[in-house]
Chains A and B, each alone.
Chain A
Amino acid sequence: MSATALWAVIAGMAIANFAIRFPSLAILSRAELPGWLRRWLSFIPVSAMATLVVGGVLRPDGRWLPPLTSPYLWASLITGLVYWRFRSFLGATLAGVIAFVALRAALG
């Protein structure tokens, strides 16, 4: 890709990302939301995180991995357990990455 094309990509991504993030936050914060919609929105964080974990762990880089020998899956379980036990975001993330490197070496 030429330098000009790269700049076009950079500008396009900057505009698109802001245009995606800003309107819903700004407009809905000025509206009175019905109870059912607030309830629905309260389930979005946990649902979105579960979706991101499933996508990132079962099919990293767009390739399905056999779950039993996947360092992603086991390292994710370890990360979750460490967070659940110690409530440390940083500790769990670090433990997860270390477990991932060790498991990748062990599982091949």
Chain B
Amino acid sequence: MPTTEPQQLACPSRSASFARGIKLGLPIFLGYVPVGAAFGVVARSLGFTPFQAIVCSATALAGAGQLIALQLIGSGASVLAVVATTAVVNLRYVLFGAAMSPHVTGVRLPAQAFLAFTLTDETFAVNIDDHRRSLANAWSMTGVGTIAWMGWVLGTAVGASAAGAIGDPTRFGVQFAMPAMFTALLVAQAEDRRHVVAGLAAAAIAVALMLLLPDPWYLIAAPMIAATVATVVTR
């Protein structure tokens, strides 16, 4: 028997994989809508037109980076300072791209470009979790990315066009939507003792670096140091 047969049997159709990705990403969609709406509301208050707010979300898909950009714009920072700071906030995506790379080896460049474009903290964690169960493929990851992008853009559109009616989005607890998603995804990643060690190390190192380093360098430094500690300690 050819050895490739089990793989072929285990390979679901493109549309079934894409649909599975959409389903996997639905919680991300539901989380992104309120946070995107909060971005839209605040963006309007800082002089963005609804169109500008939507274009920003649709092309950057930068979550925390976008919200920090608004803070900086509000405090009168220059264009260069705003772009540079959001880039530093999102430097961790270099690591995420690297960590995703073994899972996208056979994927064509345009599809890789889309997966990179829709790489966020949440799509990354959901796809990695799916890979661990050997279920993810390029189409399922494309589905996760698509639904996440839609949630972020739709939320921004709602927030930017109904800013007056929504008022202060924090009264709905919107500011906890991201930390809540991160917490659930953290528990999802901590599947064995080695990963629990890495998570605990990262938490402790992050606290120390938040006190020692100027913001937001701890976001990239803490995971790198913790992964190094875990690689050495759990050998």
B-binding residues in A (CB < 8 A): 1, 3, 5-10, 12-14, 16-18, 20-31, 33, 36, 38-62, 71-72, 75-76, 79-80, 82-84, 87, 89-90, 92-93, 96-98, 100-101, 104
B147 within 8 A of A: no
Label chain B's interface by main secondary structure: helix
Q: Does B202 contact A22, Cβ atoms closer than 8 Å?
A: no
B231 near A43 (CB under 8 angstroms)?
Answer: yes
Contact residue range for chain B? Answer: 35 or more
Cβ contact within 8 Å between A93 and B184: yes
**Chain B positions within 8 Å of A98 at CB level:** 173
Give the complex CA separation of A17 and B190 in angstroms: 28
Q: Are B116 and A90 in contact (CB under 8 A)?
A: no
A interface footprint on B197-235 (CB within 8 Å = 1, 0 otherwise): 011111101110010000110110011101110110000
Given contacts A1-B47, A22-B116, contact A36 B231 (CB under 8 A): yes
Binding site for A on B (CB under 8 A): 26-27, 30-31, 46-49, 52, 55-56, 59-62, 65-66, 69, 73, 79-80, 82-83, 86-87, 90-102, 104-105, 107, 109, 112-113, 115-117, 119, 121, 124-126, 128, 172-190, 194-196, 198-203, 205-207, 210, 215-216, 218-219, 222-224, 226-228, 230-231
